[in-house]
Structure 1
Amino acid sequence: MSVAKIQGKKMFLAGEWVHRHRLIEVRDPKDNSLITTVPAAGANDVLYAIEEAKEGAKIAAAMPVHERIAVLNRAADRIAANKEEYALTIAREGSKTIKEARKEVARCIETLRLSAEEARRINGETIPFDQMPGNENRIGYYYRFPIGIIAAITPFNDPLNLVAHKVGPAIAGGNAIIVKPATVTPLSALLLAEAFDQAGLPPKVLSVITGYANEIGDPLVTHPDVRMISFTGGMSTGEAIARKAGLKKIAMELGSNSPVIVLSDAEIDDAVESTVSGAFWAAGQNCLGVQRVYVEEAVFEEFKEKFVERTKQYRIGDKLLEDTDMGPMITDKEAIRVENWVNEALDKGATLLCGGKREGAFYMPTVLTDLPDNCTLAKEEVFGPVVTLYPVRDLNEAIQESNRVHYGLQAGIFTRDLEKAFEAIQRMEVGGIMVNDSSDYRIDAMPFGGVKGSGLGREGIKFALQEMTEPKVVCFKLAKNKL
């Protein structure tokens, strides 16, 4: 079944597949070839989706937990039965190779199954009201109830699993959800909607609206009936959403400039393999991607030589070939941006060890040293296949340098010394630290999010469910002689 046939130029609006006259072209970044088109939704579509979601939220909240579990598992089953089709869609509309896309499909299935499992664990607790004098005749508890309508805005780099990370817990918690996927990669989100539609999710609970952010973003995030915004994307966009949203819950994952520390007692070959993969997975378009590597001076030259050698072995090309390691960036525009950032760094004194070349949307894996502090690469998230190596005197300097940027999503450290590992754990300003692994490690069950400019709140199914539900306290006042 072709991608065009799957969607037929439709979006999923409150349980119905609908056309629109205005269309968005979905193109393969490899060669800019047209894959298919999807509707360009307008503000009226958003308002309609929200009105329908009001009823959808009531329907979702009334669904017994066993029905939520069944729908989530059936959706996972649908994806598992068609996983190659899903992988091909991810690879064609985005930057991932077919091997990377298959891993994303497997993670999406896991995400939905985790959502089904966590649906049965939305627990409350009894409250000992008699802990306060004068309340000996009170007894009660709290339970968690759905927040209502959730707006989810998702990026291009994980076009299936990051949508599942919002839709799965939203449904598990009994909410309605409206998804606005990235304009350049809407097909994977629509495929996910198709799986839920076929799994028997009641109408009006889920919408996937395809459209331009400057046309439909504000009506979605500012509407007072939308009670939560779950956003994954850039920090500037996140800040703009926070200013506009009004009084509602906000959960945001806003990227990073991830550091990895390699100490002199590390297993160097393992550190090289892990950090190279972490730097260039999905053409570096990865919020956890390794951007800075701080290496103790005693092993810096060895690490640098092996890192560059391994990087030069990367096979760049057709995403659908099994032996391709890295495909293109998402658009020519993004590749040009990365090229400009690297050229700025080189003009200001950085040293190029390999890469630094662009062909269309393809930007070669690039390794730099001697990066000056006053260039964009030193401060911002590159979101491309560029990594910088730094020699440092010791762990203390590595930690200080790691903490300098206004991001703090995840970090990695390679060492055999437990005391040094725990020092890094305590002092590094991040939401997660991977010991003897790169920053680019995550399982879908763990809490995921950052500090500083990297976001607010946590994803990961159990933790997203806490964000997507609210506690309600129940207290009974009884006659004193009844207790």
Structure 2
Amino acid sequence: MKENYTDHQIEIRSPIDNELLGTVPAMTKQQVDEKLEEARKAFKEWKEIPLFEKADRINKVADLLMEHIDELSALLMKEIAKDEKSARSEVSRTADFIRFTTDIAKSMQGETIQSDRFPGFSQDKISMVTRVPLGVVLAISPFNYPVNLAASKIAPALVGGNTVVFKPATQGSLSGVYLANLFYKAGIPEGVLSVITGKGSEIGDYVVTHKGVDFINFTGSTEVGKHISEITSMVPVMMELGGKDAAIVLKDADLDLAAKNIVAGGYSYSGQRCTAVKRILADETIADSLIEKMKVLVEQLKTGNPSEKDVTIVPLISEKAADFVCGLIEDALNKGATLITGGKRSGNLITPTLFDNVTTDMRIAWEEPFGPVLPVMRVKTVEEAIKIANESDYGLQSAVFTQNINDAFSVADKLEVGTVQINNKTERGPDHFPFLGVKSSGLGTQGIRYSIETMTRPKATVINLH
């Protein structure tokens, strides 16, 4: 799907039927300069506003989200082809996130440290440690959660006393602008929160290397994340990038539970989630039974337009995304994988696809599809499963299915990921849990308290008692 420029506007069209939904400005570098200058000026006043007043204003956004849930959910369904249940869940979850963020912020406190706890110092010094904002936070959100993953950057940054320049993904920018307008309606001034829109290829490098940015909070592809890391200097970053989340199924696993969770975790929103289950490493003694159970569940998934009731498999975000997934499917077939079900395409819509007998020479074993396709890789031992899981460039999450708690902890301890789910699908949340990736899956730790701490810094004031 190509964006069209009309008088410096970008047309946003639905991935469902190419309907024109609206336009956003294709901003110039000069306009980016102006937005960042506004944010820097606003920071001087915003950081001085008492926390409880900041929290009250930010909390109003949560109320407004629930007041506008019907309209915003309908926009998500059209702009990013998200099914209705997932769209409404994204809005309500964002409201809960915002409320919890302000509660956590109000409970965070500084500390005092006595000097005599360190050898050689007497009691004549006391350090009073507080947290202060960093300045201007650049928040860059992805297409797949344009409301939730925007608010999860904006709310902790604002409550910490920063100002925010928000750049939504082009596809998803209408939803992002809608969210920003709710912040304005709640009493957050423009400048405290600014929005920049435009092609990443046009202004992306310019804004992430801008001297007016004090912190970068990015969610998106690993490729773009690595590029940002390479071109920035002396600016702290937090990144949520890609994943190749493995579900490891041991021979004693509850296979009904495993099949249910893997299908839910792999195919919801057509697999367009960084935390989606993206490969299954199954003990060869139970693989046939697991695949049989999964096949039944996969073939029950409803495919179609997001506006239809109970739809799980929706059109992918773009023709390019669908082409990529089809390339992975074709590669697997050519190299001998067994197609259990699916593998068909109509426009951007790909039927839920399940492969057996996937081997390590196939692209689908290593590359993130961001689509409704799951490969089953049969393993002889737990050690083999761990080895394959850890050979990935990614390290976001993994799941382990077993009824032996000792085995669960043993495997979890050896997996090189940010989070291990035991007997559950890989997923984000609850939102006050730490959320992070290692290797090519990210930098820094998210989660409400962690995000606030990351976007503020300690400041020590030392009292000398002479």
Q: Where on the TM-score scale, by shorter chain, does this alignment land: which range?
A: over 0.9
Pick from 65, 71, 78 the counterpart of residue 51 of structure 2.
65
Who is 1:88 aligned against?
74
Mapped to 1, the partners of 2:80 and 2:113 lie a distance apart of 49
Task: Determine which of 309, 320, 340 is the counterpart of 2:307.
Answer: 320
Structure 2 CA distance for aligned equivalents of residues 176 and 281 of structure 1: 34
Q: Give the Cα separation in 1 of the matches to 2:435 and 2:173.
A: 24
More deviation, 164-173/346-355: 346-355
1:277 aligns with 2:270: no
Q: Which residue number in structure 2 is paired with residue 198 of structure 1?
A: 185
Query: Which of these residues, 85, 89, 93, is aligned with residue 107 of structure 1?
Result: 93
* Counterpart for residue 305 of structure 1: 292
Distance in 2, matches of 1:373 and 1:397, equals 12
Q: Is the 8 A contact 1:87 1:101 kept in 2?
A: yes
On the 8 A contact 1:47/1:219 being kept in 2, the answer is no
The CA distance in 2 between the partners of 1:454 and 1:460, in whole Å, is: 16
Hey, what does 1:76 align to over in structure 2? Answer: 62
1:453 to 440, 454, 457: 440
Counterpart secondary structure, 2:34? helix
CA contact (8 A) 1:330 1:361 kept: yes
Amino acid at match of 2:19: S
Q: Which moved more, 1:302-311 or 1:371-380?
A: 371-380
Q: Which residue of 1 aligns with 2:32?
A: 46
Q: Which one of 83, 97, 110 corresponds to residue 124 of structure 1?
A: 110
Q: Distance in 2 between matches of 1:270 and 1:163?
A: 33
* d(CA) in 2 for partners of 1:60, 1:399: 48
Contact 1:293 1:387 in 2 (8 A): yes
Provide, for residues 159-178 of structure 1, a one-character-per-residue CA deviation record: whole Å limited to 9, x for no partner: 11000110010111010111
- 1:333 lines up with 2:336 in the alignment: no
Match for 1:393: what amino acid? Answer: K
Runs of 5+ in structure 2 lacking a partner? 1-5
Residues 187-266 of structure 1: pairs in structure 2 closer than 5 A = 187-266=174-253
- Quote how far apart the aligned CAs of 1:440 are: 2.6
Instruction: Report if the CA contact (8 A) 2:357-2:378 is conserved.
Output: no
Stretch moving more, 292-301 or 47-56 = 292-301
Aligned to 2:358: 371
Letter in 2 for 1:406: D
Say whether 1:177 aligns with 2:164.
Answer: yes
Q: Distance between the aligned counterparts of 1:23 and 1:200, measured in 2?
A: 28
In the alignment, what sits opposite 1:401?
Answer: 388
Alignment of 1:379-458 (within 5 A): 379-458=366-445
Q: Find the aligned partners of 2:455 and 2:42 in 1 and give their Cα distance.
A: 15
Q: Which position in structure 1 is the counterpart of 2:128?
A: 141
Is contact 1:110-1:444 (8 Å) kept? no
CA contact (8 A) 2:271 2:373 kept: yes
In the other structure, the counterpart of 1:356 is 343
CA contact (8 A) 1:263 1:414 kept: yes
1:441/1:170 CA distance change after superposition, 3 Å: closer
**Letter in structure 1 aligned against 2:50:** P
Deviation at 1:406, TM superposition (A): 0.8
Alpha-carbon distance in structure 2 between the residues aligned to 1:277 and 1:121 = 35
Scaled by the length of structure 1, the TM-score of the pair is 0.93
The CA deviation at 1:302 is 0.7
SS at match of 2:107: coil
Instruction: Give the Å deviation of 1:154.
Output: 1.0
Contact residue 71 and residue 201 of structure 1 kept, 8 A: yes
Residue 398 of structure 1: how far off its partner (Å) = 1.7
1:441 Cα offset (Å)? 4.6
Letter in 2 for 1:274: N
Verify the 8 A CA contact 1:395 1:420 in the aligned structure 2.
no
Give the secondary-structure state (helix, strand or coil) at the position aligned to 2:269.
Answer: helix
User: Counterpart amino acid of 1:268?
Assistant: L
Amino acid across the alignment from 1:453: S
Name the CA distance, whole Å, in 2 between partners of 1:166 and 1:323. 30
Output the amino acid matched with 1:119.
Answer: A
SS of residue paired to 2:197: coil
C-alpha separation in 1, matches of 2:447 and 2:238: 12
Q: Secondary structure in 2 aligned to 1:166?
A: helix
Task: Report if the CA contact (8 A) 2:359-2:377 is conserved.
Answer: no
2: distance between equivalents of 1:298 and 1:306? 15
Unaligned runs of 5+ in 1: 1-19
Matched, 1:31 2:28: no
1:372 CA displacement:
3.0
Other structure's SS at 1:320 match: coil
Say which SS state the counterpart of residue 120 (structure 1) adopts: helix
Shift of 1:102: 0.8
CA deviation map 1:63-103 (0-9, x unaligned): 11011110111010000111111111111100310111111
Q: Which amino acid aligns with 1:293?
A: I
In the alignment, the residues of structure 2 paired with residue 416 and residue 213 of structure 1 have an alpha-carbon distance, to the nearest angstrom, of 47
Preserved CA contact (<8 Å) 2:393 2:440: yes
Counterpart for residue 472 of structure 1: 459
Opposite residue 461 of structure 2, the aligned amino acid is V
In the alignment, the residues of structure 1 paired with residue 109 and residue 236 of structure 2 have an alpha-carbon distance, to the nearest angstrom, of 21
**SS of the counterpart of 2:420?**
strand
Amino acid of the structure 1 residue aligned with 2:82: K
1:294 and 2:277 matched: no
Is contact 1:59-1:205 (8 Å) kept?
A: no
Alignment RMSD, CA only? 1.3
Looking at structure 1, the residues matched to 134 and 306 of structure 2 have their Cα atoms a distance apart, in angstroms, of 40
Please tell me the residue identity of whatever aligns with 2:405.
L
Provide the aligned length of Structure 1 versus Structure 2.
460
Task: Tell me, yes or no, if the aligned pair for 1:72 and 1:115 is still in contact at 8 Å.
Answer: no
**Misfit runs of 4+, over 6 Å:** none
Q: Report the Cα distance in structure 2 between the residues aligned to 1:118 and 1:323, rounded to whole angstroms.
A: 35
